[in-house]
Structure 1
Amino acid sequence: MKKLKIIFFASAFVLSVVSCDNIDSLNENQKAYTNALASNLMTSSQVNYAYFLTNASVNDNNFRGYAQYWTTSTYTDEVNYNQAKRNLGNSHTVILYRDVLQDLIIAKNKINEEQALGPVEIAVKKNRLAILEVQIVMVYQTLVDLFGNIVYSQALDIASFPTPKYDDAKTVYLDLATRLDIAIVNLDSNYDSFGSADLIFKGNVTKWKKLANSVKVKMGMHLADVDPAKAQSMVETAFNSGVMSGNSDAALFQYYKTTIDENPLYNSLVNESQILPTEFFVNELNAKSDPRRDIFFNPASKISGEYKGAPYAQQVSYKNFSNVGLKLRDRTNPGVIFDYTETSFLLADAANRGFNVGGTAADYYEKGIRSSMNYWGISGIDADTYLARTDVAFATAAGTDKQKIAYQLWIAYYNRGFEGWTEYRRLDFPILVAPVTAVSEAEGKVPVRNIYSLFDSTLNKDNYNAAASAIGGDKMTTKIFWDKF
């Protein structure tokens, strides 16, 4: 999509030059659309949001490193938390605001302008608007979970707000929850929506409603330590409305074999020899004979018959360690937007806090592990064997119930770096140790936040300074509002 945008702008520039020479006929395209279709804008936004979550470019996504699933063998700035050098805040801002939210909001405005003539058309229009709204909520939540206070109420309206203010993160969360509630009510599975333009669910409104409720559970659990009553209300109403109940409900973004449509991990894992699973992660899985190892790691890269992870954030020889599994190198491997595994572990956490979600913490803990095993192609027998281990079974595994859930969630979120890092920050487990070589700005800690874009501090200085002051400093050690412990 980025390449297409470059081509588009280059073409536009050429045409503008030609028109200056008064060759009017060359500046007209009788077959071209003068306005993008709402459905196409949504498609574009889905492509870009999936890229943000899935890719492993050092310029765009270092979350698998922050969660200590992966490290790098030669260039270690990123796993040593040098956020400023890559200006990661700018990358995240550009992708999520310009390439995702802007398209979703324009699409929403276009559909609002459409005249619906009959009851069926009105219902379809409501579905389409609600589906766009669910995605808008998800992206804004992502931004809060990245930065804390964000540009929200004045976002993407440069004519009215060329230097927009930053809104309080919790206030944004609560407003998003209200918006999500309205979207859920408006989703009606008796009518169509976007059809094939929807690259996630092909317009399946029932699945969009399950996703919306699962997102509501997630938002509620993020509020659990700061507003328990609100969290419980959100989680219980979402559960009763209907959340994801199996892997078939997962929100996946399918990739294909062609270069422009391939999983972005292909370039990072196949075209480069740089990324390695960490010693810490590999050792944890080895200790429990985790059957997912042959998927997560490459069996052909065993060292003396065993998987060997690389020390985190150290320059090493790539060939001396095990590397990433073949499924993750597959061009067609789908990107995960949200899944049943995530839903199960969130409900395990909810049940452990006494929320009424139709099962116990142990029930959902087991469902989360089984869901992960199933997703990665592990047999039921192997999953049974794993769950029967005393160091895995909920009743006997080490740690508090919260730690047990957090630990297995961390393993299951392998290849979902942003969510793995987010839930590590929220649940404070497992214990991850920052490398001694980390940049001084990390203060000897694993980052719990991404710093704002360097452009914010120069182009929107006053509002940037106010936002930084409000959250306690624009630092990677400043906790997001829901990260209380």
Structure 2
Amino acid sequence: MKKDINKLILIFLGLTLTLGSCKKFGDTNIDPTRSANIDPAIQLSTVQLRFSGDLNVNERTSFLMTLPLVQQIAGSYSNRWGGIYFKNPGAMGALWNDSYPNDIVNIIDAVNRTNGVENKTNLNAMCRIMKVYVFDRLTDLYGDLPYSEAGLGVNAKFDKQQDVYDDFFKELSAASAQLNPSKDVVKGDLFYNGNIAAWKKFANSLHLRLAMRLVKVDPAKAQKEAQAAFDAGVFASNADICKLQHEDIRNPYEGAGQGNIKGNAVSASFFNGGAVPGRFTTVFIDQLRSTNDPRLKYMARYYIDNSASVPKDRTDITDQIVPLQGYVGVKPGSYIYDAPYLNAVTITLPGGTTVSATNNDEKVQLANFLLRFNAPFLHQTYAEVEFLLAEATVRFGATFGGSASAHYAKGLEAACKQLNLFPDGPSIPQSEIDQFIQANQLTPGREIELINNQMWVTLLLNGPEAYANWRRTGYPALTPAVGVSETGESTTIPRRFEYPYTEEEQNKANFDVALQRMGGVDSWNGRVWWDVAK
């Protein structure tokens, strides 16, 4: 993996100066410099690595916005945008402005140049799947967007999200069927190293995820597409998880020709600029504590707060603080210094060193193993798939390979065991997992709530997906963080990202058509197509 990433970085230097350079020329959906000589496999690798390695996007989209929006973290000043609801156009626009001239241009070009090429049918299928995946993160945050004409050298029209989703399902089904182990061997794939069977399962599992997005807006289509995805073959164990294993490198902001995308950018965002890392919220800790979740003692840790520290160098004081006060989180919408403000305590570390733990040290943090710069980014997990199948069974009936309770139990077990995929991550004893499952059975009438409360925990550090799943289900039942610390700019939890100003300026005619479909207002309190009010 390290060899593949390092080779990719060298080639990426040129890509940044060519395909990325279209940022400087008008509309960000236009590529005036597309080259026919770039290896499509390298374009696929580049898009894979940038997805979780681009600090500019992941810090703004996840750490500043979606992670606090879904109340998984709070406390840092940088969490105020999503946590207290202060509008930050730069944070909301970063994904759009970075994706279209880079990831979108690359992946569309790779798809187009491998279409119908006999010795690139598997590569073409993987690129098509990746194209759906990249576009889905965009459309689920913004709504309608340039899709059918994106990256083709025109001022692209905004496609309706419903039409985009229809094409997603067609593309995923076709790409999954196209994958063939007897055809071309794909090199440089950073997800599965060219494993065809694994890519099929990812395509189908992604298909299932997107099918369940529609449960409010079109239940019949949701059922049809979910069944098609399941029948085609989804993840069956933690060995199937789609992840990218990053290197132990602290990513800086990406600059032209630098290609600093090898480390986990979500992890880097917690420590960027010497900022206070976001703490677990009281809501998240209460969820773990109320269910006697065995992950609590592994995931939630106390550390001496040092703005110059990095995850593997932080001093762990959990064993000294927990007996004194248990696990103390930060209220959603609060800063770390807000109530309760805790008095300093003197503790003795192993070896006899005495230190003073201040208020900041006494607010519980994400464990080092979760935030290592070489932590994997989990794109889609087996646990998520089992929770989706559990919900599908509740909603649509027993045609998904087992009972809702059985799928739910498998999801709980898989979610606990996936922690050992992280460097220095724990292997939770099976006895603790079994006890957890036995104590948390599905309750009749509350199945959807319980399943998606657990999905929320499982999706920790995948902010955009956690935000999408919360909007489609309403769970967990979050209380808007209004007036807790400061008065923000919304009285409810915002439900989408507003379009960047650059799109209105450079693609105004098409932007205005999309704006009319939204009632003439581009508001973060509006809803994307599948997020209908219930």
Q: TM-score range by the shorter chain?
A: 0.7 to 0.9
Aligned equivalent of 2:495: 448
Matched AA of 2:297: D
What percent of counterpart residues are identical? 25
Q: How many Å separate the matches in 1 of 2:361 and 2:524?
A: 32
Alignment RMSD:
2.8
1:269 matched to 2:261? The reply is no
Aligned equivalent of 1:429: 475
Aligned equivalent of 2:146: 151
Gaps of 5+ in 2: 19-34, 251-259, 303-316, 338-359, 420-426
Q: How far did residue 428 of structure 1 move?
A: 0.5
Aligned equivalent of 1:464: 511
Aligned residues: 448
1:418 matched to 2:468? The reply is no
The equivalent position to 1:243 in structure 2, one of 221, 234, 251, is 234
How do residues 342-357 of structure 1 correspond to structure 2 at under 5 angstroms? 342-355=384-397, 356-357=399-400
Q: How many Å separate the matches in 2 of 1:10 and 1:287?
A: 48
Instruction: Report the 3-state secondary structure (helix = DSSP H, G, I; strand = E; otherwise coil) of the residue aligned with 1:483.
Output: coil
Instruction: Report the 3-state secondary structure (helix = DSSP H, G, I; strand = E; otherwise coil) of the residue aligned with 2:329.
Output: coil
Q: How far did residue 56 of structure 1 move?
A: 5.2
Contact 1:54 1:336 in 2 (8 A): no
Q: Is 467-476 or 321-330 further displaced after alignment? A: 467-476
Q: How many Å separate the matches in 2 of 1:53 and 1:7?
A: 16
Instruction: Report the 3-state secondary structure (helix = DSSP H, G, I; strand = E; otherwise coil) of the residue aligned with 1:433.
Output: coil
Aligned equivalent of 2:27: none
Contact 1:72 1:79 in 2 (8 A): no
TM-score (structure 2 length as normaliser): 0.78
Matched AA of 1:295: Y
Q: How far did residue 81 of structure 1 move?
A: 5.4
Report Cα offsets for 1:401-448 as digits up to 9, x if no partner: 111111111122122221111111111011112222476542x11121
Report Cα offsets for 1:223-281 as digits up to 9, x if no partner: 22222222222111221111100000001101112444222244333454331111111
Aligned equivalent of 1:198: 189
Q: How many Å separate the matches in 2 of 1:3 and 1:203?
A: 19
The equivalent position to 2:163 in structure 1, one of 141, 157, 171, is 171
Contact 2:67 2:463 in 1 (8 A): yes
Aligned equivalent of 1:282: 285
Evaluate the alpha carbon distance shift between residue 10 and residue 63 of structure 1 in structure 2; reply closer, same or farther with a 3 A threshold: closer
Matched AA of 2:368: L
Instruction: Report the 3-state secondary structure (helix = DSSP H, G, I; strand = E; otherwise coil) of the residue aligned with 2:366.
Output: coil
Instruction: Report the 3-state secondary structure (helix = DSSP H, G, I; strand = E; otherwise coil) of the residue aligned with 2:163.
Output: helix
Q: How many Å separate the matches in 2 of 1:362 and 1:433?
A: 28
Matched AA of 1:387: I
Aligned equivalent of 1:128: 123
Contact 1:297 1:326 in 2 (8 A): no
Gaps of 5+ in 1: 13-32
Contact 1:294 1:325 in 2 (8 A): no
Instruction: Report the 3-state secondary structure (helix = DSSP H, G, I; strand = E; otherwise coil) of the residue aligned with 2:378.
Output: strand
Contact 1:137 1:176 in 2 (8 A): yes
Aligned equivalent of 2:361: 319
Q: How far did residue 381 of structure 1 move?
A: 1.0
Contact 2:266 2:461 in 1 (8 A): no
Evaluate the alpha carbon distance shift between residue 483 and residue 43 of structure 1 in structure 2; reply closer, same or farther with a 3 A threshold: same
Q: How many Å separate the matches in 1 of 2:373 and 2:78?
A: 24
TM-score (structure 1 length as normaliser): 0.85
How do residues 275-314 of structure 1 correspond to structure 2 at under 5 angstroms? 275-299=278-302, 300-301=317-318, 302=321, 304-314=324-334
Evaluate the alpha carbon distance shift between residue 139 and residue 178 of structure 1 in structure 2; reply closer, same or farther with a 3 A threshold: same
Contact 2:41 2:186 in 1 (8 A): yes
Evaluate the alpha carbon distance shift between residue 55 and residue 70 of structure 1 in structure 2; reply closer, same or farther with a 3 A threshold: farther
Q: How far did residue 372 of structure 1 move?
A: 0.2
